[in-house]
Structure 1
Amino acid sequence: MLKIFEIIIAIMILAASISPVFGADELDKVSISKPTLANAFGISLGNSINVDQQIQVAADITNNQERSQQFNYLVQIKNEHGLVVKLSWTGGELNPHQKWNTSVFWSPEESGEYIAEIFVWERFPIDNKALTEHTTISITVS
């Protein structure tokens, strides 16, 4: 059942990233900066990691508004064939103009080339409203 839910969520993410239905102003509510792969202590690992190494897919997110903003930080990791191998998210609330470093964990099971796609949405999975453009990190697992 969990796999079916992950597939549905991946399709929703893909649909939102291909054909956004939100105006440019909507996508400026939050910004993503400094996407990084880090260890459990937050130390950057670069883009090359090892099989079974637990990492954080982290980024700074900033609320660009004069009001508080609820958010969900979503990370979708795809293998070299474009298949989703991990989908994870966390959420919270940002105060006006607050910057916060957030992350989700991943431990790759196979070597290869991967792409981590980072999204920030409001009230996921209720209305899937993007707060900013997504960003990516290329990952090499050996």
Structure 2
Amino acid sequence: MIKQLGVTFSILLVFTIFINPAFAIEPLDRVDITNPRLVNSFGTQISNQINVNQQVQISVDIKNNQEKAQEFAYIVQIKNQDNITMSINWVIGSLNPGQTFSPALSWTPKVSGEYTAEIFVWDIENIVNNDGKIAKIIKNDALAEYATLKIVS
């Protein structure tokens, strides 16, 4: 009787383990980055051909694929045709589960040329300073594959 109970319990345990699906999200699938684009100050999409000294906004759509809120840093790095970094800017925010958000960071080309905007979304870590205040630190932990956008001025 005890042996039969043990076998039944083992079969039930194995059945339970194999039946429960795993909902783990791969690290680079926690958010989606789509639709990289240039927009004007009103949020209207504009051409990737811009003028020197024309201020533009570099924007994407970010979607949280998780079932929990996600703090993030939206980072835009601008490189010239020689692959030299000309600008790095970022803004931090938070996405609710399933939420889509379209952050934008401004940039103004000072010299004509071809540029590439590299767009990253990284995780944020909250730490407590010595004075007890909470600080937000950008972790070197990508939430998605980065996106690029070609710009000509």
TM-score by length of 2: 0.74
Residue identity (%):
47
Q: Name the counterpart of 1:138.
A: 150
Separation in 2 of the partners of 1:129 and 1:46? 31
Q: Name the counterpart of 1:63.
A: 64
Q: Name the counterpart of 1:17.
A: none
Offset, 1:47: 1.0
Offset, 1:46: 1.6
Work out whether 1:31 is the aligned partner of 2:32: yes
The alignment of Structure 1 onto Structure 2 pairs a total of residues equal to: 118
Work out whether 1:50 is the aligned partner of 2:62: no
Q: Which runs of 5+ in 2 are unaligned?
A: 1-24, 126-136
RMSD: 1.3
Offset, 1:128: 1.2
Task: For residues 36-62 of structure 1, give each alpha carbon's deviation from its aligned partner in whole angstroms, at most 9, with x where no partner exists.
Answer: 101101111121000000100001100
Task: For residues 49-102 of structure 1, give each alpha carbon's deviation from its aligned partner in whole angstroms, at most 9, with x where no partner exists.
Answer: 000001000011000000000000000000000000010000111000000010
Q: Which runs of 5+ in 1 are unaligned?
A: 1-23
Separation in 1 of the partners of 2:89 and 2:113? 20
Mark the structure with the bigger radius of gyration: 2
**Ranges of 4+ aligned residues in structure 1 off by more than 6 Å:** none
* 1:83 aligned partner, one-letter code: I
SS of structure 2 residue aligned to 1:60? strand
TM-score by length of 1: 0.80
Offset, 1:127: 2.4
**Residues 31-110 of structure 1 aligned to structure 2 (within 5 Å):** 31-110=32-111
Offset, 1:126: 4.0
